[in-house]
Amino acid sequence: MMEKQEGYNAAVFADRIPKSLQENAVDCVILGYDEGELKVLLLKWKYEDIWSLPGGYIKITEDLDAAAYRVLQERTGLTSIFLEQFKTFGAALRQTKKYPVDYAKISRILDKIPLKNKECNLKWITKRFLTTGYFALVNLEAANPTPGFLSERCEWVSINAVPQLLMDHNVILKTALEYLKKQLNYLPIGKSLLPEKFTMQDLQKLYEVIIDQPLVRSNFQRKILKLGILDRQEKLMTGASNKAPYLYSFNTEKYDEVVKKGIGFSF
């Protein structure tokens, strides 16, 4: 089962694995919205050029959802946020043929980070495991990106500039974005992506970034307003030489109601 790679014997890892942890993981696609761009929170590993989605093992006494919340909280400081499971990934070759793990790199990293830390279960290096993908939409301004013990940086990266990620993380990210695109047509979004108050243009741009195509302004406004999830606030004086737009905020009560009912077509 194990094979040598670049002179490194992966089986060495097997000894380092604490037995106390579950063999399953979660990976979080944490999306924020900033300067008209959709951004995803990524980790840059220590010492080597490895990037990955924030993830973690599920503790044996922990709910699956709780593990995802924990990862989100550890990497952003945020709690009680929109977080949704979207798919579990379990291709047999997650760590091998299809998405090769560079054992040499991992080896060099581990040589520098002794694994006395019980929180680190590196079974994924040597054995296929499942990971459940979650995605979160968060207020980028409120988040406080924090690297873990294997990573040296935790950064917002534009979804148009995502580097090659560890294992199948690029696929996980892509799947999350497609899922979000679909969700748009039967769920309101934006409550946690936008600041408290925002203009109609802000909201439209968010939608356009997600579905990756332009929308007709007047029709977008009409459709959104008809959902009844927005409260109109005062006008925003930008200093620009044009009519000042209204500010809006989400009406939490109605927003949640629409989330429950769903929008759009139904038989």
- Site residues (vs DNA, CB under 7 A): 199-201, 216-219, 221-223, 225-226, 235, 237-246, 265
| 160 lies in the site for a copy of itself, by CB under 8 A | no
| 228 lies in the site for a copy of itself, by CB under 8 A | no
The binder of a copy of itself chosen from 182, 217, 235, 261 (CB under 8 A): 182
Task: Answer whether 108's CB lies under 8 Å from 8's CB.
Answer: no
C-beta of 186: minimal distance to DNA in Å? 12
Tell me the C-alpha distance between 168 and 186, whole Å.
28
| 266 lies in the site for a copy of itself, by CB under 8 A | yes
Partner from DNA, a copy of itself, none binding residue 262, C-beta < 5-8 Å depending on class: a copy of itself
C-beta of 38: minimal distance to DNA in Å? 20
C-beta of 172: minimal distance to a copy of itself in Å? 13
The binder of a copy of itself chosen from 186, 221, 227, 258 (CB under 8 A): 186
Nearer to a copy of itself, 61 or 218 (CB): 61
The binder of a copy of itself chosen from 5, 24, 146, 175 (CB under 8 A): 24
- Please list, in sequence order, all residues whose beta carbon lies within 8 angstroms of the beta carbon of residue 39, skipping any fewer than 6 positions away: 31, 32, 33, 140, 156, 157, 158, 159
Nearer to DNA, 2 or 236 (CB): 236
What's the length of the chain? 267
Partner from DNA, a copy of itself, none binding residue 216, C-beta < 5-8 Å depending on class: DNA
Partner from a copy of itself, DNA, none binding residue 12, C-beta < 5-8 Å depending on class: none
Partner from a copy of itself, DNA, none binding residue 22, C-beta < 5-8 Å depending on class: a copy of itself
- Please list, in sequence order, all residues whose beta carbon lies within 8 angstroms of the beta carbon of residue 74, skipping any fewer than 6 positions away: 54, 56, 146, 148
Q: What residues does 230 pair with on adjacent strands?
A: 250
| 259 lies in the site for a copy of itself, by CB under 8 A | no
C-beta of 221: minimal distance to DNA in Å? 5
Tell me how far CA of residue 54 lies from CA of 75, 97, 113, 131, in angstroms: 7, 23, 18, 12
Tell me the C-alpha distance between 229 and 249, whole Å.
9
Smallest CA-to-CA distance from 57 within 26, 11, 15, 90 is with 26
C-beta of 76: minimal distance to a copy of itself in Å? 22
Interacting residues toward a copy of itself by CB under 8 A: 22-24, 58, 60-67, 85, 87-92, 127-130, 132, 182, 184-186, 207, 211, 215, 220, 223, 262-267
